[in-house]
Structure 1
Amino acid sequence: MLSQFNQFLLNFSLLITSLLFAFLPMRNISRISPNSSIRIRLAVGLIASIIGALLVLNSISYDGAKIDLRLVALVTAYYYGGWISGGLTTIAIIGARFLVTPPGVYQGLILATLICLALLVTASIYRRFAAQTFKDYLILLGIGIGYSLPALYLLTDTFMRFLEMAFVYIIFNLLGGYVTFRFLRELRKHFQFVQTQQELALTDSLTNLANRRKLDETLADYDKHGYAFSVLIVDIDFFKSVNDEYGHDGGDVVLRQLSHLLATFAPEQALVARYGGEEFVVVLPDIAHREAERIGERIRTACADQHFVFKPYPPFHVTLSMGVASSDQGKTAFEVVQLADQALYQAKQTGRNKVVGYAYS
């Protein structure tokens, strides 16, 4: 029995290692379930198929039986991807079982095929009455084990050898299922934590807009790919007087309310970032210079008409000055921002509360 334990440990190690590397490409998907898109479920099925086939190809030969953790791969595929993922994994497992079957000895192959198909049908029926919980995962795994034990009995030479192998088989499949389920859950939590930290590193904490780092990364990417774009640099007029009259808390309220206004009036594909202090940058991909000026004018007008609220003070107004430049005016994206900044300076010097485009040279 010790040798069987050692061989199962190798199969178990193969399962966990394969899961770690195979699911890395799916780390940014927030939730995977039988209701996910077909593309995601096909990807889950492909991953589980590879893992299931590897487990079968490295299975333990015991009399006429091939013992491994393929049930864990199949149940996991169905649990996360439904019948599409489960069906792909079933085909892969049957194919791998055919490859390890000696010519003329097809009893084990036939039984393995029947077990996989029976489990797939049972899982499809069971899903109508179950949720996606750990209990349901274990029930499906237990059903698969129940289907496998009669086949294991038929393929072993004696009842004692069947009991010996059944004990190892049940223990390792339950252990493999438990560890797989917990491993994938913890892996998902880890990926979500890393993604959250990455998003926080690129987000301004006060306004929830993109921060300077995100802006620089975007501009560098535009330079790399040669994208056409325009830029608005937005500055709040006389923001110091807002802080003086309403305090820094009032100033923060203005920044947050203005951030919401910018995000609302900017096109969906635009990047709205806090540039620093009371300045903001709106990057407008595939927007020509004149259209960018019109977008800036709509934002300026909406801000001038908006009532900014900071209790217990009465509602008040703020105005904006803006500079506009486009990618055909500068050699690099960062130079375009500098040109927009020059246009902003001109807007401030000529009366504020206006949108000024950088003059074409």
Structure 2
Amino acid sequence: MLSQFNQFLLNFSLLITSLLFAFLPLRHVKLISPASPVKLRILIGFIAGFISVLLVLNSITYDGAKIDLRLVALVTAYYYGGWVSGGITTLSILGARFAVTPPGAYEGLILTGLICIALLITASIYRRFASHTLKDYLVLIGIGIGYSLPALYLLTETFNRFLEIALVYIIFILLGGYVTYSFLQELRKHFQFVQTQQELALTDGLTNLANRRKLDETLASYDKYGFAFSVLIVDIDFFKSVNDTYGHDGGDVVLRQLSHLLEHCCPDQALVGRYGGEEFVVLLPDTPLKDAVRLGETIRLACADQHFVFSTYPAFHVTLSIGAASSDQGETSFEVIQKADQSLYQAKQTGRNKVVAYSEE
């Protein structure tokens, strides 16, 4: 019994280690389910199939039976990827089982195929009446055990031999299933936490727009890969008077409302960020300067027409001065930002509430 325990422990360690390294590439995927894109479910199938092959190749042999935790990999594949993932995993299991089967002794291979297919069919029926919880995952594991025990009995030479391994098999399959589910859930929570912290580090706390660090990183990537872009630097006119009249809370409301306006007006590929204070930056990849100026005018007019509301004060208006420049006007993104800033200064000096494009003249 101790020898069996040790062998199962090695199989169990292999399962958990494989899961950790195999699912690392998927750490940025927010949700994996049978409704995920087909390409993702195919990838899940190949990952679970690879793990299954490792488990089968390191299985414990008892008479004609080979015992391992492949059932956990199959249930996991189906649970997260449906028939697509489960089917690929099944084929991987059968391929590995065939590779370790002596010529002419194909009873175990046939029973393995029947168990996998029966489990997938039963799981498909069960899923219609179940939710996506630990209980349902363990029920599928239990169904798989129920299908596996008769096959195990047929492949062992004596009933005592069957009992010798069945108890350990049941305990380790259930334990393996529970730990696998919990491990994957905790791993996903950890990845989501890390991703959230990374996003917060690149997000302005007041407006939820990109912050200075995110903008600088994006500009650095433009330099690195030679991307063409245009930039708008947007500044609120007389923002100090807004703070003086409505207080800093009123000023914060204006900044938040303006951030919503910028996101609404800008195309999806644009990156809108707060550069500091009342200054915003809009990065427009693959956008000519004339189109950037046109967008700047749209933003300026939309802001001038918007009613800003704070507390019990009457609705009020603010205007914007905007400077524009494009990447063909500077050798680096830093130079482009400088030129857009010069254009913004010109807009401020010549009356405000206008868009000025940088010109060499």
**TM-score bucket (shorter structure):** over 0.9
Q: Given residue 37 of structure 2, which amino acid in structure 1 is its aligned partner?
A: S
For 1:25-104, list aligned pairs within 5 A.
Answer: 25-104=25-104
CA distance in 2, matches of 1:240, 1:119: 69
The alpha-carbon deviation at position 360 of structure 1 amounts to: 3.4
Following TM superposition, the consecutive aligned residue runs of length 4 or more in structure 1 with deviations greater than 3 angstroms are none
Task: Name the structure 1 match of 2:292.
Answer: 292
Unaligned ranges ≥5, structure 1: none
Taking the aligned partners of 1:263 and 1:185, their CA distance within structure 2 comes to 34
Could you tell me which residue of structure 2 aligns to residue 240 of structure 1?
A: 240
- What is the deviation of 1:111? 1.2
Q: Give the Å deviation of 1:80.
A: 0.5
Give the superposition deviation at 1:204.
Answer: 0.2
* Secondary structure class of the residue paired with 2:30: coil
Report the 3-state secondary structure (helix = DSSP H, G, I; strand = E; otherwise coil) of the residue aligned with 2:120.
helix
Query: Deviation at 1:312?
Result: 1.2
SS in 2 for 1:207: coil
Q: Secondary structure at the match of 1:232?
A: strand
- Cα distance, 1:234 vs. partner? 0.5
Partners of 1:60 and 1:92 in 2: how far apart? Answer: 18
Is residue 267 of structure 1 aligned with residue 267 of structure 2? yes
* Structure 1 equivalent of residue 180 of structure 2: 180
Residues 51-90 of structure 1, C-alpha deviations (whole Å, 9 max, x = no match): 0111001100111110000000000000000011000000
Q: Following the alignment from structure 2 to structure 1, what is the Cα–Cα distance between the partners of residues 226 and 309?
A: 42
Paired amino acid for 1:7: Q
1:117-172 deviation per Cα after TM superposition (whole angstroms, max 9, x unaligned): 11111112222222211111111111110111111111111111110100010000
Counterpart residue number, 2:117: 117
The one-letter code sitting in structure 1 at the alignment partner of 2:112 is A
Q: Which amino acid aligns with 2:75?
A: V
Runs of 5+ unmatched residues, structure 2: none
- Which residue in 2 is equivalent to 1:130? 130
Query: What amino acid does structure 1 have at the position aligned with 2:334?
Result: F
Aligned to 1:221: 221
TM-score normalised by length of structure 2: 0.99
Confirm or deny that 1:160 pairs with 2:152. Answer: no
Superposed displacement of residue 277, structure 1: 0.3
What is the CA–CA distance in structure 1 between the aligned matches of 2:138 and 2:254, rounded to whole Å? 53
Q: Measure, in 2, the Cα distance between the counterparts of 1:310 and 1:113.
A: 68
How much is the aligned-residue C-alpha RMSD, in angstroms? 0.8
AA at the equivalent of 1:48: A
Match of 2:190 in 1: 190
Aligned length: 361
| 2:12 is the alignment partner of 1:12 | yes
Q: Aligned partner of 2:223: which letter? A: D
**SS of the counterpart of 2:324?**
strand
Sequence identity, in percent? 78
Partner-residue secondary structure (3-state), 2:128: helix
Offset from partner CA, 1:283-313 (integer Å, 9 cap, x none): 0111101111111011011111111101211
Q: Deviations over 1:171-200 (max 9, x none)?
A: 000000000000000001000000100100
Shift of 1:103: 1.2
SS in 2 for 1:233: strand
Amino acid at match of 2:3: S
Q: What is the alpha-carbon distance in structure 1 between the residues aligned to residue 40 and residue 131 of structure 2?
A: 19
